[in-house]
Structure 1
Amino acid sequence: MTIDQRGGIAIAEIVLYFPILILSIFLVVRHGATRKAGWIFFAILSIVRITGGITHVLWEQNPTNTSLQTIFSIMESAGLSPLLMATLAFLSIVGQYTLENHPAMSTRTFRLLHLLGTVAIVLAIIGGTNISSAKSQSDLNTAATLRHAGSLLFLAFFALIAALTAFCWLQRDQILKYRRKLLLAILASLPFLLVRILYSVLSAFAPLPFAFDSAEHMVPVVSNSPLKQFSSTSGSWAIYLVMSVLAEYAVVLIYTFAGVRLPLKQDLADYQKAGMHMRTMSEEALTEHAGARPYDSAYAQPYSQPYSQPYSR
């Protein structure tokens, strides 16, 4: 069995993402399986990466199998979406109980951003699938356009997530203790996410290694474009390793470490205690403002008989 550098990277991803899959299942059980919790996206990412790695290795053993090539190409495009969706979910957790009434952190804002991410991944998958199944140059051009649009939407999605992160950082004094630490994890992951996004965009705009002639026969194409190094199938394996695989895995490690270490549920207990304390202080302030002593049973006197002493000057 002959494996090239890309195949070796695929095997490494299979090995690396199996423990992440197990750990993400633990985090889903610990924090919840809802989309808002965010951890479910790491289970999805792990499955995507393991599936992509397996199909890539199988394709190297049978390069004429276009179905395998289509599957691992789709998996390559689909892996970015869970990372961004998880980051968006974590931002909503950061603002829980404190910032969620602000328009920038409202449910509507997160729904619109989630819709943007969904459109981006749909375009990227359709574009990648259609490139593999193209029968003419027109089909190829249309598929490439869809792929370009998907990558640019991912870039816009990341920019909006970064803007929300900056907003939360400016309001960090209002954020609950452990959610502030989750915000730090998001901040630490953003540079790696940016590198991963840039690779995705450059890869989408990289020249394809084939085209169709006037008779609609597929022909190989040799390009001198500097972007050819970023091709997800025929580009530099070293660039792919650093900008895609390692950058992505760094984000995964940062988030999973935060998920294991941070007792986010403790924030709710602290918030409820703080709320009860504030209510007590407010009640005392109101009674003092009204000129009355807060009720204390030690000062209560039972009612026995009417006051009958005559008024005297």
Structure 2
Amino acid sequence: MGLGPQDYISIVDLIIYIPALIAAIIVTARHGFHRASGWIYTVVLCTVRIAGAICQLLTHTDHSEGLLTASVIIDSIGISPLLLATLGILSRFIDFVNAKGVQLFSVKQFRFVQLLITLGLILSIAGGTGGSTDSNGTVTVSGTSKAGIILYIVGFAGITYFFLLSSSYRSGVPRQERRSPIAVAIAWPFILIRLIYSALAVFVNNDTFSVVGGKVSVRAAMAVIEEFLVVFDYLILGLGQGRLHFFDEATIRIYRHS
């Protein structure tokens, strides 16, 4: 059996995400492996995409239901690392704003949005195992997957709210940190398109947006390209910022009294 369009996308994923994974590890190590820094989730996304590409290519020799389920799950959870990475980058930026006495948002608010996205991830994984495929190849999406997407949408709305209210405070933070809202602004429309694709795949689920067997060109245009552009955007941000370990309390105290 020859390679199909989905296989070519998987090959491109491997070509792109293996070097991106190396870069993401370097950036994450540079800024610290604390999850709230955001960049650790670029490592997660790169790893997920590499694993998904390998699973897709393996379906040529292994037609087991377990491998197909794994491919569906891996494909469906790609939006969560994008959201969590964005939330982490905004958290870092807003903490600098708060250090100047503005107190825009509390840690509890960020943790609440993080919890929503994490629950969405868990439900998406559970939904990937709970769906079914009939004899005609039609995929029935579980209610659990739909609930997961709804939580992603709410989480994205929370991230947008944080972003809109904090962007005007760029001038009050260190120069290298002023790039963070710009990077999020660049990534925002791509994340929105990716989220729309996930919602259509779950709620519409026709021949164009089906989780399994949908149009590869649509998936490439609304999901694959968007994910890569966001990862590339955040990696440039991370490489351009200094070796500042943001969660070093001494750094916070120095900046707060500057």
TM-score normalised per structure 1: 0.74
Q: Residue 191 of structure 2 aligns with which residue?
A: 193
**Percent of aligned pairs with the same residue?**
30
Matches within 5 A, 1:27-42: 27-42=27-42
Q: Residue 5 of structure 2 aligns with which residue?
A: 5
Q: Residue 238 of structure 1 aligns with which residue?
A: 217
What secondary structure does 1:242 align onto? helix
Distance in 1 between the 2:223 and 2:154 partners? 18
Per-residue deviation at 1:104? 4.7
Distance in 2 between the 1:266 and 1:51 partners? 30
Q: Which has the higher contact order (CA 8 A, sep 6+)?
A: 2
Runs of 4+ in structure 1 over 3 Å off: 100-104, 266-271
Q: Residue 231 of structure 2 aligns with which residue?
A: 252
Per-residue deviation at 1:103? 6.0
Distance 1:108 1:266, change over 3 A: closer
Per-residue deviation at 1:22? 0.5
> Residue by residue, what CA displacement relative to the aligned partner does 1:167-203 show, whole Å, maximum 9, x if unpaired?
1113333333222111110111001000000001001
Matches within 5 A, 1:123-272: 123-132=123-132, 144-207=142-205, 227-263=206-242, 265=244, 272=254
RMSD across aligned positions (CA)? 2.5
What secondary structure does 1:60 align onto? coil
Pick which of 194-203 and 100-109 moved more: 100-109
Q: Is the 8 A contact 2:52 2:71 kept in 1?
A: yes
What secondary structure does 1:128 align onto? helix
Distance in 2 between the 1:273 and 1:129 partners? 48
Q: Which residue type is aligned with residue 159 of structure 1? A: A
Distance 1:104 1:77, change over 3 A: farther
Distance in 2 between the 1:58 and 1:96 partners? 44
Unpaired runs of 5+ residues, structure 1, are 208-226, 277-313
> Residue by residue, what CA displacement relative to the aligned partner does 1:105-147 show, whole Å, maximum 9, x if unpaired?
2110011011101111111111111115x79xxxx86x52111
Q: Residue 81 of structure 1 aligns with which residue?
A: 80
> Are 2:257 and 1:275 aligned?
yes
User: Which structure has the bigger radius of gyration?
Assistant: 1
TM-score normalised per structure 2: 0.89
Q: Is the 8 A contact 2:6 2:216 kept in 1?
A: yes
Unpaired runs of 5+ residues, structure 2, are none
Distance in 2 between the 1:231 and 1:266 partners? 43
Q: Is the 8 A contact 1:52 1:72 kept in 2?
A: yes
Q: Is the 8 A contact 1:148 1:204 kept in 2?
A: yes
